[in-house]
Amino acid sequence: MIEEYRGQKIDDIQKYGVDVFAIGSDWEGYFDYLNEFCKVIYLPRTQGASSTLLRQKRPIVNIGIIGTGSIASRFVPEPKNVNSASVSVAYNPNQEKCVSFCEKFLIPIVARDLEELYENCDAVYIASPHYTHYEYAKSALNAGKSVLCETPFVFSKKQAEELYSIAEKKELLLQIALKTAYCPAFGHLFSLLKSGVIGEIVEVNASVTTLTDENSAKLDSKYFGGIMSENACFPLLPIFKFLGTKFRNINFYSKMKNDVDMFTKAVFRYDHAVASFQVGLGVKTEGSLTIAGTKGHVYVPAPWWKTDYFEVRYEDQNYNKKYFYPYVGEGLRYEIKDFVVAILTDGYYFSKVSKEENLMMAEVQEIYILGKNVYKL
C-alpha cells in the first residue's frame, strides 16, 4: 500500500484488521504509538540493506515542461512530493517568460529550443495552449520521450490516433493529465459502481462551471477558446467511465458570445442509459456529479472533479454511506506518480484514462467544433 497522507497507518491497521506491524530495527521506538492499535515488532536489519537507501538509488525521471502558464506553475512544486520525479528543464517560445518561470521555481535549465529541452529530460509534460498540444506531443514522441499532456489532449480523433500510433511503435508512454482520474476517491468510486452497489446505471450528470474575465485567452475564438475546449474533458470522464464510449447520439446546446461558447449543455443517448453535462465560463451552477441507478444513486458534491468525498444513497436512508479520501494540494501529484511509476516499471501498465476513452474525448471535441448537432441559444 502506498502511504498517501499522515495518519494513514492507523486507518489501514483498523481497516484491514492488522495484528502485527513489522519494520526494521533502525526505526526502533519511532512507531511505538501504533501499539494502541496492533502489535509493533522491530526486526533486525539485514546487514547492508536499507529500503531508504534503495529508494535513494532509484533512477530519477527528469521531466521537461513545455509551457510556463498557470497550470505549469501548479505542476512544478508537485514532483517534490513524488519519489523518483524531478523537473529539470522548461521551454516557452517566449524566452523572457521562460527565464522568469525558471528563476521563480529554481528550474536549472532554460531551453532555447525543443532540441535543448529533449537533451535534458527523460519525459515531457505539455502545458502549452490547447491548440499547440498535437504538434508538441508529436515532436516529443518522435524525439523518444514519454508524454504527459494536459487536457484537452487534441481536437480530432485522427490526431489522437496518430499520436497513440507513434507512442506504441516507439514503446513510449502517452498519458493525459486529467487529474480527477488519478485521485484515490474517484478510483474507489469506479470500483464501487462496477460492483453494482447502485444497480444498473441509467443516468450520469456532471457540471463544471466557473466565472472568468471576459478578456481571458480562454475566450479567444482564434485559438479554440470556449468552455467546451477548456473543461469538457472533466465531465466526459465519468460519463465514459461509467457508461462506456459507445453512445448512440449526442446533442449540444450552447450560449454563445463573440463566437465562443460561454455555456454548453450536452446530452448523450445510450442504448440503456442517458448522460448529460453542463460546462460554463460565464455561467455558474452547482458543480456536482450525480449517478442514478436502479437500486440507489451516488452524489459527489462540488467541486466533484477534486473528489475527496462522495455519498451512496438509497431509498432506505439507513443504508446510506459516506466515503472520505485524501486529496492533497492541487491533486497533480497523483497523476505525476502514476506517470513516473509507469515509466520506471517494466511490463503491464493500466492507464487510468484508456486509449478508447481518450480517442472518444477527442472525437466529441471534433463533433462540436464541426457544428454537428450544435444548437446555439
Same-domain check for residues 207 and 328: yes
CATH for 37: 3.40.50.620
Please tell me the pTM assigned to this model. Answer: 0.84
362 located within any domain: yes
CATH for 145: 3.40.50.720
Same-domain check for residues 163 and 250: no
2 located within any domain: no
| Spatial strand order in the sheet of 61-66 | 109-110, 85-91, 61-66, 123-126, 146-150, 174-177
1 located within any domain: no
**Alpha carbons 253 and 256: distance in angstroms, whole number:** 10
185 located within any domain: yes
Same-domain check for residues 225 and 348: yes
Question: Which residues on neighbouring strands pair with residue 280, listed in sequence order?
Answer: 209, 263
pLDDT of the residue at 212: 77
How many Cβ atoms are within 10 Å of 23's Cβ, its own excluded? 15
Residues of the chain short of pLDDT 50, as ranges, are: none
pLDDT of the residue at 56: 57
Same-domain check for residues 371 and 317: yes
Same-domain check for residues 216 and 118: no
Same-domain check for residues 309 and 368: yes
3-state secondary structure of 341: helix
Residues of the domain holding 91 = 59-179
Question: Which residues on neighbouring strands pair with residue 321, listed in sequence order?
Answer: 312
pLDDT of the residue at 1: 63
3 located within any domain: no
Q: Which residues contact 318 (CB under 8 A, 6 or more apart)?
A: none
Place of cell 468552455: 227
Which of 160, 179, 198 is the last residue in one of the domains?
179
Cα 44–chain centre separation: 41
116 located within any domain: yes
Q: DSSP assignment, residue 44? A: P
Based on the structure, what is the number of domains in the chain?
A: 3
pLDDT of the residue at 349: 67
CATH for 324: 3.30.360.10
**Alpha carbons 97 and 76: distance in angstroms, whole number:** 15
pLDDT of the residue at 221: 61
pLDDT of the residue at 258: 83
pLDDT of the residue at 30: 87
Which of 179, 201, 231 is the last residue in one of the domains?
179
* Span 307-326, pLDDT tens digits: 999 999 999 999 999 999 88
Same-domain check for residues 166 and 189: no
pLDDT of the residue at 83: 82
